[in-house]
Amino acid sequence: MAMEQRRREYTVGELARASGVRVSLLHHYDRIGLLKPGAKAANGYRIYFEEQAVKLQEILFYRAAGMSLEEIATLFEQGVSLERLKAHRKKLVMDLASQAAMIAAIDHSIAHLKGSKSMKLEELYQPFSLQKQASYEKWLIDTYGADMALEIQEVRAHNRQQTEGAKPQGLERLRGIEAALVANYEEGMQPQAANLLGHQQWVGDMWGRECDRQAYGELAELYLSHPDFIARFESLSQGFSQWLYEAMKAWSTRLPK
């Protein structure tokens, strides 16, 4: 019988170095019961295992978000780690959306004071500036690999073939689609209940190919990964960016594999 693999152990010094915190801080977390070591050696030294290392990472996430140790301790008593992290992620996303919306409002005010006209929908969507387009494409390729680079090339070829008259028509169609989705959101519809067929078809038409299950889910990730898109959707309705992301992800799971 093969020997059972031994659990990875960390001394307090090793965990401190790996996480970038002071040993004294780990001692403090132990004293207040926030992060107890997994075991103690015969000589009294603290021993930590992977579950304590993961919990420390979670503590550092919450501290970075401005939560007090008392709040974190209360949070640990309320549920399992996965659910806490999901809730924390949602809070961070909402904070990001709020900040992006404020930045967009400030930029609009600066442009107004300078006498510049505000950005139009056409300027955000089609065409992107070369710098912004490169940023979005890099994110997609870094996230989804070399196959995504080929898909981007196909979209570029399709966009070059579009007539100038077709672009405004497509954007006018998008305005109607987004207006209906914003109405759904503001009426309190759950994102999982939203019908995004029109939006999915519009994306496919803009790309010049089918927007399938995987591609639509990936687009949702992009929408919630760049302040430009977040600010765009938050300008339609506060909180809409998160709702749209959840609606798109839910819709993508209903599409054929």
% of the chain surpassing 70 pLDDT: 60
Tokens at residue 209, please? 């190919």
Reported as a pLDDT band with limits 50, 70 and 90, residue 165 is very low
Indicate the average pLDDT of the chain: 75
Counting Cβ atoms within 10 Å, is residue 257 exposed (0-12), middle (13-18) or buried (19+)? Answer: exposed
Q: CA-based Rg of the chain, rounded to a whole angstrom?
A: 24
pLDDT at 116: 52
How far apart, in whole angstroms, are the C-alpha atoms of residue 210 and residue 203? 8
> Which domains does the chain possess?
10-76 (1.10.1660.10), 84-253 (no CATH)
pLDDT at 198: 93
Angle between helices 227-236 and 81-113 (to 10 degrees): 80
pLDDT at 152: 59
State the pTM of this model.
0.45
Tokens at residue 250, please? 């839910």
How far apart, in whole angstroms, are the C-alpha atoms of residue 225 and residue 252? 18
Reported as a pLDDT band with limits 50, 70 and 90, residue 216 is confident
Cis preceding-peptide flag for 127 (omega within 30 of 0): yes
pLDDT at 163: 46
Please give the span between the terminal C-alpha atoms of the chain, in angstroms, as a whole number: 42
Of residues 148 and 35, more confidence is placed in: 35
